[in-house]
Amino acid sequence: MKVLEVKNLTKKFDGFIAVDNISLSINEGEIFGLLGPNGAGKSTTINLIAGLLRSSEGEIKILGKNNMKHSRYTKMNIGIVPQDLAIYEDLTAFENVKFFAGLYGLRGTELTDRVQEALEFVGLLDMQRAYPKNFSGGMKRRLNIACAIAHRPKLIIMDEPTVGIDPHSRNYILQSIHKLNEMGCTIIYTSHYMEEVEEICTRISIMDHGKVIAEGTKEQLIAIITNTKDIWIEVKSVEQIDIEKIKEINGVKTVSLDKNVIKINSEIGINNLNNILLYLMNQKVEIGSLEEREPNLETVFLTLTGRNLRD
Amino acid sequence: MKDIIWLIRKIIRVTFRKKGNILLYFGGPLIGILIAFLAYGGSDQQTLKVGIINQDSAQIAGDTVHFLEHLENVEVVKINESTLKDQIATGKLDCAIILGQKFSESIENGIPDHIQLVSIKGAEVTSFVKSYLYQYLDNITALKRAANGDPEVYQKMYDRFQQANFKLQVETLQDTSKGKNMTIMTIGFLLMIMLISAGNFAEIIMKEKENRTYFRLISTPINVRKYVLANIAVSMMVMVVQVLLTLLMAMKVFHIEMNVSFWQMAVLLTLFALVSAGLSLMVVSFASSSRAAGALHILITIPSCLLAGCFWPFDLMPKVVQRIAQFMPQHWVLETINQLQLGYSFGSLYLNLMILLAFAAVFFLFSVYKFGRNNDVRNFA
Ligand SMILES: Nc1ncnc2c1ncn2[C@@H]1O[C@H](COP(=O)(O)OP(=O)(O)OP(=O)(O)O)[C@@H](O)[C@H]1O
Ligand SMILES: [Mg+2]
């Protein structure tokens, strides 16, 4: 069954096109990744799906129903974890989850049970009487998730749920996404951390400038660029390097600088490492280390757009 | 409806979990009553404590003391000279009257003298005693003159006068202007507190947008309309409690003479609560952040209350300001109260009530229009 169907969705803000004619189709049981740099239009897409914004064009169906015409039904079945924390500092963890779950019509012992279940799920049960103002960033993020799942939605949408948190909380959250998925939830996960998306997502869309520029499983996406490899060269200084000169070298497809690492994507059949090193030596660049890497989503993005996912 | 009650319960819980808010919302309105008392003094039913030192043993002096003792609202205390200054200074006595040894004699001679009135409270207090006392003495001097030097005739006339005098009903005229001024102070201050309260509640909407909980709220099956409605409902509840509490305290506890029935006041002020809620909602719909909304709200509330005459009698304001006042909803509340005090019936003042309703309607319509066009779920900070 299709949990989500998006057809030719466009959103304009006063003429600025934030989402540009995208189509998505997500099946039950998927963990779907929406990958893209800052301003790609990920959050806008999610807000449109959740019915918080009205689309300029296109249609969104959730569990087969139009999300504007049947907003009550579709909202009942969605749990949204917003990019920015959306919790009350002056309510306890328990009261936060209880309040939001109550808005889905839950009452009485069923409500209390579900609230505790959700808090248990994110590992905050023993903190339920505490106020979030005393929480660490990771705990707040987890409470933010608990507020979105107590009503047991079929579709959970997480908008960068791991921004700015400690590794412990981050692992906890990634694990809980797997657990939710095993329990039957379909998940949409947005991030600009490609490692996370690679790790948990079954299928991925890459967005840039409001458009979906590639879609498929991790393997399918990497297959787009399997005729290339990555060469990362760490150098001591970058002043003398002219990226354009490296690009002229036979076989080199893209070159980018990430601090003091030169990231080169090059065709597989052509052995041009000598030429690259020769250029660097001529420029009197001191080389720290050299590494040939398996291509990943970062490379996919770089190949497709000529830019890094994160600047 | 169930959702709205769920929202209402949460707003109330969060608001009144802070003890300071209880004080602000329900202690605040009573400050107006206190200010009214400070500005216009207590109720009219005060009794004056008058100390008497009678150094004259003659009959007239004794009768004079007797006369004072029988005045309503006056309590006479016999004191001696040594404690006089002390008791006046500490406020135990409002004033003191000293009848000198030759007091009676001076009256009989037709030139009242050897009487002294001591007070530190000034004319307000003493004029009352003075006017009665002097009239009494005038009457006796007049008798003396009428008797034309015949002691027997005088004595007869004097005795008859004394007997008649006991039947004299001393009536205190009710001073309505004081009651009116105190009503304005009390209600004017209440109106200001109501506006501030309504502003605070409307600001919650703005704050929720800023801390993103609004975003989560509208992603649940709750729609914006229900959410705003719940907010207004709480705001109205708090304001109605403020109204009832203030009226109860002012009328039943502090006995301010409002000369308007409790329920007429309550209905009128509830109408104003609707105006306040509408105004605050409009401010919030126009403002770009909660801080801006708060500032804008104070900027509207304080000057409009001043211009509308919430803190002083309307007649004391310059003509220009009086004209401007007509554009303030507060003015129409105070004006309606004024006319009710003058004896107009509630029904005959329907035009004033309509004006207040119109204010509320315009404010609400503006807000609905602005909220409906809002397309922004981003950070508002
Ligand atoms: N309400 C709005 N009005 C005008 N422009 C907007 C609005 N909301 C978003 N935008 C613009 O649309 C573009 C896409 O924003 P969006 O928040 O969807 O990006 P994103 O992919 O979620 O980025 P990030 O990784 O930073 O969260 C941005 O350029 C943003 O400035
Ligand atoms: Mg985003």
- Domains of chain A plus CATH, in order, are 2-223 (3.40.50.300), 227-294 (3.30.70.980)
Looking at the structure, tell me whether residues B126 and B260 fall in a common domain: no
Give yes or no for A53 touching B (CB within 8 A).
Answer: yes
Q: What is the mean pLDDT of residues B57-74?
A: 81
Give yes or no for B6 touching A (CB within 8 A).
Answer: yes
The mean pLDDT value of chain B amounts to: 84
In the predicted model, is pLDDT for residue B251 greater than 80? yes
Name which residue leads in pLDDT, B88 or A108. A108
Residue B89 is assigned to a structural domain of this protein? yes
Band of residue B178 on the pLDDT scale cut at 50, 70, 90 = confident
Q: Find out whether A127 and A51 touch, Cβ atoms under 8 Å.
A: no
Distance A14 CA to ligand 1 centre (A): 13
The sign of the CA dihedral A71, A72, A73, A75 is positive
At A225 the pLDDT is: 67
Distance B378 CA to ligand 2 centre (A): 10
User: How many other CB atoms are there within 10 angstroms of residue B265's CB atom?
Assistant: 23
Q: What is the mean pLDDT of residues A243-254?
A: 87
Looking at the structure, tell me whether residues B296 and B184 fall in a common domain: yes
The number of distinct structural domains making up chain B is: 2
In the predicted model, is pLDDT for residue B41 greater than 80? no
Query: B221 and A72: CB-CB below 8 Å?
Result: yes
Q: Which helix (H) or strand (E) holds B329?
A: helix B329-341
Give yes or no for A265 touching B (CB within 8 A).
Answer: no
Is the ipTM higher than 0.90? The answer is no
Band of residue B74 on the pLDDT scale cut at 50, 70, 90 = confident
In terms of phi and psi (left: phi > 0; alpha: psi -120 to 50; beta: otherwise), the region of B42 is beta
Residue B170 is assigned to a structural domain of this protein? no
Q: For residue range B114-125, what is the model confidence (pLDDT) as tens digits? A: 888 877 666 566
In the predicted model, is pLDDT for residue A13 greater than 60? yes
At B358 the pLDDT is: 96
Domain that holds residue B245: 2-41+177-373
Q: Report d(CA B17, CA B22) in Å as an integer.
A: 9
Q: Among partner residues B17, B216, B223, which is closest to A86 by beta-carbon distance?
A: B216
Q: What is the mean pLDDT of residues A256-268?
A: 86
In the predicted model, is pLDDT for residue A115 greater than 60? yes
Looking at the structure, tell me whether residues B267 and B357 fall in a common domain: yes
Band of residue B166 on the pLDDT scale cut at 50, 70, 90 = very low
B143-147, B230-234, B340-344, range with greatest mean pLDDT: B230-234
Looking at the structure, tell me whether residues B277 and B359 fall in a common domain: yes
Name which residue leads in pLDDT, A57 or B133. A57
Query: B220 and A75: CB-CB below 8 Å?
Result: yes
At B135 the pLDDT is: 80
Q: pLDDT exceeding 90 applies to what percent of chain A?
A: 53
At B374 the pLDDT is: 63
Distance A13 CA to ligand 2 centre (A): 15
Looking at the structure, tell me whether residues B225 and B349 fall in a common domain: yes
Cβ(A191) – ligand 1 distance below 6 Å: no
Q: Find out whether B349 and B340 touch, Cβ atoms under 8 Å.
A: yes
In the predicted model, is pLDDT for residue B182 greater than 80? yes
Select from B129, B162, B195 the last residue of a domain: B162
Give yes or no for A140 touching B (CB within 8 A).
Answer: no
Give yes or no for A84 touching B (CB within 8 A).
Answer: yes
Cβ(A46) – ligand 1 distance below 6 Å: no
In terms of phi and psi (left: phi > 0; alpha: psi -120 to 50; beta: otherwise), the region of A265 is beta
Looking at the structure, tell me whether residues B57 and B186 fall in a common domain: no
Q: What is the mean pLDDT of residues B168-183?
A: 63
In the predicted model, is pLDDT for residue A100 greater than 90? yes
Give yes or no for B377 touching A (CB within 8 A).
Answer: yes
In the predicted model, is pLDDT for residue B139 greater than 90? no
Cβ(A41) – ligand 1 distance below 6 Å: yes
At B80 the pLDDT is: 82
Query: A103 and B379: CB-CB below 8 Å?
Result: no
Q: For residue range B197-228, what is the model confidence (pLDDT) as tens digits? A: 999 999 999 999 888 899 899 899 988 889 99
| Gap from A196 CA to chain B (nearest CA, Å) | 24
In the predicted model, is pLDDT for residue B336 greater than 70? yes
Q: Among partner residues A53, A72, A88, which is closest to B377 by beta-carbon distance?
A: A53
Q: For residue range A264-303, what is the model confidence (pLDDT) as tens digits? A: 888 877 888 888 888 888 888 888 898 887 777 777 777 7
Task: Nearest chain B residue to A101 by CA: give it.
Answer: B220
Looking at the structure, tell me whether residues B109 and B256 fall in a common domain: no
Q: What is the mean pLDDT of residues B135-162?
A: 79
At A245 the pLDDT is: 86
Measured CA to CA in angstroms, residue B74 lies from B59, B92, B123, B173 at distances of: 21, 14, 16, 15
Residue B169 is assigned to a structural domain of this protein? no
Looking at the structure, tell me whether residues B155 and B64 fall in a common domain: yes
Band of residue A220 on the pLDDT scale cut at 50, 70, 90 = confident
At A151 the pLDDT is: 94
User: Which amino acid belongs to residue A12?
Assistant: K
At B77 the pLDDT is: 84
The mean pLDDT value of chain A amounts to: 89
Atom in ligand 1 nearest the alpha carbon of residue A41: 18
Select from B136, B162, B188 the last residue of a domain: B162
Select from B162, B190, B209 the last residue of a domain: B162
Looking at the structure, tell me whether residues B209 and B286 fall in a common domain: yes
A chain contacts of residue B14, beta-carbon cutoff 8 Å: 88, 90-91
Report the number of secondary-structure helices (H) and strands (E) in chain A: 11, 14
B chain contacts of residue A152, beta-carbon cutoff 8 Å: none
Looking at the structure, tell me whether residues B152 and B186 fall in a common domain: no
Report the number of secondary-structure helices (H) and strands (E) in chain B: 16, 4
Query: B220 and A47: CB-CB below 8 Å?
Result: no
Residue B381 is assigned to a structural domain of this protein? no
Atom in ligand 1 nearest the alpha carbon of residue A192: 25
In the predicted model, is pLDDT for residue B45 greater than 60? no
Q: What is the mean pLDDT of residues B300-322?
A: 89
| Gap from B224 CA to chain A (nearest CA, Å) | 10
At B125 the pLDDT is: 63
Give yes or no for A89 touching B (CB within 8 A).
Answer: yes
Q: Find out whether B143 and B161 touch, Cβ atoms under 8 Å.
A: yes
Looking at the structure, tell me whether residues B35 and B53 fall in a common domain: no
At B265 the pLDDT is: 95
At B381 the pLDDT is: 28
Looking at the structure, tell me whether residues B282 and B369 fall in a common domain: yes
Report residues near ion ligand 2: CB below 5 Å: A 42-43, 83
Q: For residue range A32-56, what is the model confidence (pLDDT) as tens digits? A: 999 888 889 999 999 999 988 889 9
At B172 the pLDDT is: 45
Orientation angle between helical segments B329-341 and B290-308, nearest 10 degrees: 30
- Mutation target to probe the A interface, by most A beta carbons within 10 A, among B216, B217, B225, B373 is B216
In the predicted model, is pLDDT for residue A169 greater than 90? no
Lowest mean per-residue pLDDT among A18-22, B84-88, B322-326: B84-88
Q: Report d(CA B95, CA B47) in Å as an integer.
A: 12
In the predicted model, is pLDDT for residue B317 greater than 90? no
Name which residue leads in pLDDT, B281 or B133. B281
Closest residue by Cα to residue A97 from A68, A132, A65: A132
CATH for B140:
3.40.1710.10
Name which residue leads in pLDDT, A142 or A166. A142
Q: Find out whether B64 and B129 touch, Cβ atoms under 8 Å.
A: no
Lowest mean per-residue pLDDT among A68-82, B59-73, B217-231, B269-283: B59-73
Name which residue leads in pLDDT, B213 or B313. B213
Strands A31-35 and A203-208: parallel
Q: Report d(CA A14, CA B322) in Å as an integer.
A: 45
Residue B380 is assigned to a structural domain of this protein? no
